[in-house]
Amino acid sequence: NAGVMQNPRHLVRRRGQEARLRCSPMKGHSHVYWYRQLPEEGLKFMVYLQKENIIDESGMPKERFSAEFPKEGPSILRIQQVVRGDSAAYFCASSLGQGESNQPQHFGDGTRLSIL
């Protein structure tokens, strides 16, 4: 009964390095969403992907951030040349449906990214 699996749980990077966050959706789910949670704040939408397609990346910073969801394997959120402001918890969610508003999104436990 695996839920949404994210790894690593904790990731420490130095400024200027790259961070790769992975997300395996729930079995049978083909819709993946990434959210970022800054300290003391709610989650903010970043990107919505289906297999091999980016549907909506309106919440992604224009530079250094990218996301993919290949035909095989997990979804990857990639942050290049990290800066201190990238320190946050990054959550992945998946859903079964066609992105309709009444399809619940199931969340992983998140990756907590710390930038030194």
Partner 1 sequence: GNSVTQMEGPVTLSEEAFLTINCTYTATGYPSLFWYVQYPGEGLQLLLKATKADDKGSNKGFEATYRKETTSFHLEKGSVQVSDSAVYFCALSEYYKLSFGAGTTVTVRA
Pick 1 or 101: Cβ nearer partner 1:
101
> Which C-beta is closer to partner 1: that of 18 or that of 41?
41
Name residue 17's amino acid. Answer: Q
Q: Are 106 and 96 in contact (CB under 8 A)?
A: no
Judged by beta carbon, residue 20 or residue 107, the one nearer partner 1 is: 107
At closest approach, how far in Å is the CB of 69 from partner 1? 14
Handedness of CA 45, 70, 82, 7 (dihedral sign): positive
> How is residue 2 written in tokens?
């695996």
Would you say 88 or 93 has its CB closer to partner 1? 93
Q: What residues line the site for partner 1 (CB under 8 A)? A: 4, 6, 31, 33, 35, 40-45, 48, 55-56, 91, 93, 95, 99-110
Q: How far is the CB of 1 from partner 1 (least distance, A)?
A: 14
What is the spatial distance between Cα 14 and Cα 34, in angstroms, rounded to a whole number?
A: 22
- In the complex, minimum distance from the CB of residue 98 to partner 1, in angstroms, rounded to a whole number: 9
Least spacing, CB of residue 28 vs partner 1, in Å: 17
CA distance 67 to 27: 20
Helix intervals (H) in 19-70: none
